[in-house]
Structure 1
Amino acid sequence: MSSISRLCTFSRFAPSLLRITSRNLNKVTPLRSYANLLYKRHQPLWKNSIKEYAVSQRFSASSPQKGSKSVGYWLLTCSGMVFVAVVLGGVTRLTESGLSMVTWKLLGEKMPRTEQEWEEEFAKYKQYPEFRIKNCEMTLSEFKFIWHMEYGHRQWGRLIGGVFLIPAVYFWSKGRFTPAMKKRVLAFGTLIGLQGLMGWYMVKSGLEERFHGENDVPRVSQYRLASHLSLAFLLYTLLLWSSLNELLPAETVHFSSNAILKASRKFRMFAHTTKGMIFLTAVSGAFVAGLDAGLVYNSFPKMADKWVPDDILAYSPKLVNLTENPTTVQFDHRILGTTTLGLVTALWFFSRRRVLPRRAYVAATALVVAGYLQVALGITTLLTYVPTSIAATHQSGSLLLLSTAIWLTHELKRLPKMV
């Protein structure tokens, strides 16, 4: 009789038990305990109901992980698209296509379809300094090539905005974002918008009537080009870091003493410093590209048989040489590149003597390989007078080098404060 009484009591509570979700489960601990007790005593009779409840709880517990993975893959896709955008931007710059489109529309420019429309677009280009001073003998077919290069770069940027915005709205509405991730998503969206505006602001600098000297070459401002590239690198860094948080969480290492932990934390600080130097060297490369400084001295390691060229401080005031003198800009890029390679090499050697997470050793090795490959590409670009293919690969290599540095520092993020 007591068993029948307990069975009837449970039958009153069973519907409530089956409606329990992961959100309110902690609020009904006594009821859950009572259900577990009855389950042990009457397993054969209530086997199906309890199994149904357990399956629902398993799927409820795993859904946040699946949501986190999907957010991670979305962020990784966006970072990959930014990587491609940087490569396209480099090729656009190297083929001198960036000033071919003299207008900018938020939702995209209309591509000419007929020969008459192409002639009208070409007529617009002829009104600006690049055609009048540099490309006055350009044919319509040559103009179509550079126009398509710039058009592809702009459309890819707009595609990044769409691939970011649509899933962001979906994930936000479904509650897939944590409060911290919501702030990051807003920052990502802001950076993407700023990147587009900076791109047009940069192009406008090459369309202005400011080229009047005999040796003036119509080009975009190297300051705006460096800002445009810096924003792209910053956006890429944040997207990749956030995707790694979701897809490849950093491992935790247990240390036997505070002395060993202190050495590992110093190594992490050194890794962040090296990452900052990689970023700075890449930005200096934007000034090299903006001033065509890769064409002034095409020898290595010396510059015209001298370690320090004579015209390194030719401009006045002296400070402007750092950003406006092609010789000084190339010299600075060489020094920064060599220094960064030294830091990367030292980082790898130190990694062999430190207690680090398992994947950090792999990341440190990948970083040193990417570092030497990048320097080799830079020297090759210089000695071969900046061919488009090698120069574009060199620019892509800078982003690959930064990616490995991001991976390494990400693997070190969970070092404890004290043992």
Structure 2
Amino acid sequence: MPAGLFARTFRLLPKGPVGTASPCHRGLHRLRFGFPSATHVASSTHASRAATRPYSFIKLSKPWPGATSVLEPRFFSSNGTTQLLTTELPVLSPPAVGNWLLLSSALVIAVIVVGGVTRLTESGLSITEWRPITGVLPPLSRAEWESEFDKYKATPEFRLMNSRMELVNFKSIYYMEWGHRVLGRTVGLAFVLPLAYFAARGRLARTLRTPLLGMAALLGAQGALGWYMVRSGLEEPVASGGGADNAVPRVSQYRLAAHLGTALALYAGMFAAALSVTADWRFARDGTWGRLRDGRTWDGVLRNPLVRRFKTHAAIVTGLVFLTALSGAFVAGLDAGLVYNEFPLMGGRLAPPLDELLSPSYADSDGGKGTWRNLFENPTTVQFDHRVLAMTTYLATALLFASTRRAAVRAALPPLAVRATAAAFAMANVQAALGISTLLYLVPVPLAATHQAGSVALLSVVLHVLLALRRPGAAARAWRQANLAREAAAKAKVTK
């Protein structure tokens, strides 16, 4: 019988980026991303062993729990010889990649929350220099603490607001800002080092590589953007619309919004990628998608017009959640939460007077009405905008949830999307309660920090709604097709 088996065992995703063959066949083939891509001919010592089996194939070992081997009839020659023809399969990222991305996204949440506390406790301007390497260590001696304190004494914030501060008080705000910066560096290492490892080992799907590299670059830029923000608070304050009394040392609300927006974008990218990797793995392994158990297929569900409209609505809600969270950065930057501490009215009215919302104090130098400046620099207008966006987001989330109560929509959607929508509406209620409480109680630090964390939680659940309606990736579909072929071949083998 002609030789047709290849004796070596190949992993679907080998420990190294390139698989290895038996010594006599090295160099006869090449592997791309760890998968065989050419015809393999086995040594004759294994040919007789293969003669007792209907199919002769490479045994693909399981590199992690739940991995399945690929056996496809089209891999074999039809003339009954043991020559093995294989096709290339794209890399499918394993669950370890998804777990790493989920951990990275959790660390980003921690940075966002700690950053919010840093802002609320007025700690962000305590460190007056940006030292990416040497700044990892805090002051270790009395002399070093005195040196750092002297630098802070030269800032406008100390002169105008904290002139009576002593060293012991300075240490508390210094450690808060230092912890925020160190946590940011930790996120960078926790993301970049595993990224390099998974890339070197060939574990990243093709569609993941560019987005993950972009996230790594954005992480590096985030540090520079954070320092750019802090620098604005170290400059001499300039009175805005409120006259000289409004010349308070604070970071630029524009730079603060950019810093927060970048962090939210990073979190959303990591979280979405993590869920996508996990979902693709499950689909490739056993065809699980959206927790469907009624015989429907993912493509049939996604072609339904009701599902398409629902997905569009979910995308709009996700955009609103992001925009509302971003507007919160302007509220924090201008301390606008300390204006009109009542709800739902503002000074006994649904909206403040128009001349207060569009105050002439924020008029442009050329005599314009200053509409844009009022939107982003007038504390009253900024709070009003945040309220309107928050109520719009809540209403949109409620309508999205209400649509799932319709029998036709509920029957069309996969169960996972229905459950994620219910979670989104529940979180929207929690976030609304947190926001109102923060306003009524004059922005206490614990409530305000929880409210900021709630915005990330709400973003997470609405993203989950969208991802529940995501089509499986190309790599997952290819692996699923190969696994189905393997199962069909196994059944054919049993019937013979």
- Common topology (TM > 0.5): yes
Give distance in 2, aligned partners of 1:153 and 1:136: 24
Distance 1:106 1:26, change over 3 A: closer
TM-score between the two structures when normalised by the length of structure 1:
0.87
Amino acid at match of 1:113: L
Identify the residue that residue 120 of structure 2 maps to in structure 1: 94
Query: Unaligned regions of 5+ residues in structure 1, if any?
Result: 1-5, 44-49
- Secondary structure of the 2:245 match is coil
Closer, same or farther: CA 108–402 of 1 in aligned 2, 3 Å: farther
Q: Is the 8 A contact 2:253 2:329 kept in 1?
A: yes
- Distance change (3 Å), C-alpha of 1:198 and 1:298: same
Q: Does the 8 Å contact 1:99/1:203 carry over to 2?
A: yes
Aligned residues: 396
C-alpha offsets along residues 378-408 of structure 1, whole Å, 9 cap, x if unaligned? 0000000000000000000000000001111
Q: Are the counterparts in 1 of residues 91 and 206 from structure 2 also a CA contact under 8 Å? A: no
* Equivalent position to 2:326, from 283, 296, 320: 283
1:161 to partner: Cα distance: 0.7
Instruction: State the partner residue of 2:208.
Output: 181
The farther-off stretch of 204-213 and 171-180 is 204-213
Match of 1:396 among 450, 453, 461: 453
Q: Structure 2 vs 1, CA of residues 20 and 374 (structure 1 numbering), >3 Å: closer, same or farther?
A: closer
Q: Deviations over 1:113-167 (max 9, x none)?
A: 1222111110000001000011111111111000000000000000011111111
- The 1:300–1:79 alpha-carbon spacing in structure 2 relative to 1, beyond 3 Å, is same
Q: Which residue of 2 aligns with 1:346?
A: 399
Amino acid at match of 1:351: T
Query: For residue 122 of structure 1, what is the aligned residue in structure 2?
Result: 149
Distance across 2 between alignment mates of 1:95 and 1:163 = 27
Does 1:326 pair with 2:371? no
Are the counterparts in 2 of residues 255 and 261 from structure 1 also a CA contact under 8 Å?
no
Q: In 2, Cα distance between the equivalents of 1:258 and 1:182?
A: 29
Contact 1:265 1:415 in 2 (8 A): no
Is 1:156 the equivalent of 2:209? no
Report 1:113-262 matches (<5 A). Answer: 113-211=140-238, 213-249=244-280, 250-251=289-290, 253-254=296-297, 261-262=304-305
- Picking from 13, 36, 41, the partner of 2:52 is 41
The CA deviation at 1:105 is 1.1
Instruction: Tell me if structure 1 keeps the 8 A contact 2:105–2:270.
Output: yes
Q: 1:66 to 1:26 in 2, by over 3 A?
A: closer
Give the TM-score normalised by the residue count of structure 2.
0.74
Please give the secondary structure, in 2, of the residue aligned with 1:372.
helix
Aligned twin of 1:19:
8
Tell me the equivalent position of 1:299.
342
Aligned to 1:312: 357
CA distance in 1, matches of 2:36, 2:436: 63
Q: 1:275, 1:405 within 8 Å by CA — same for their partners in 2?
A: yes
Structure number with the higher helix fraction is 1
Q: Which moved more, 1:59-68 or 1:325-334?
A: 59-68
Separation of aligned partners in 1, 2:62 and 2:371: 68
Q: Which amino acid in the other structure matches residue 382 of structure 1?
A: L
CA distance in 1, matches of 2:172, 2:299: 63
User: By how many angstroms is 1:342 displaced?
Assistant: 0.3
- Taking only the aligned residue pairs, the percentage that are identical comes to 42
| Contact 1:293-1:327 at 8 Å conserved across structures | yes
Counterpart residue number, 2:17: none
Q: 1:277 to 1:294 in 2, by over 3 A?
A: same
The amino acid of 1:148's aligned partner reads Y
Offset at 1:39? 3.5
Which residue in 2 is equivalent to 1:46? none
Mean Cα deviation higher: 271-280 or 259-268: 259-268
What is the identity, as a one-letter code, of the residue corresponding to 1:283? L
Partner residue, 1:266:
309
Pick closer, same or farther for the CA change 1:42–1:151 going to 2, 3 Å. closer
Q: Kindly indicate whether the alpha-carbon contact (under 8 Å) linking 1:348 and 1:364 is maintained by their aligned counterparts in 2.
A: yes
- Return the letter of the residue paired with 1:379: I
* Separation in structure 2 between the aligned mates of residue 18 and residue 143 of structure 1, nearest angstrom: 69
RMSD, aligned CA? 3.0
- The 2-side partners of 1:207 and 1:321 are apart by 24
CA drift of 1:274 comes to 0.5
Query: Amino acid of the residue matched to residue 263 of structure 2?
Result: A
- Asked if 1 retains the 8 angstrom alpha-carbon contact of 2:124 and 2:177, the reply is yes
Distance 2:423 2:301 in 1: 28
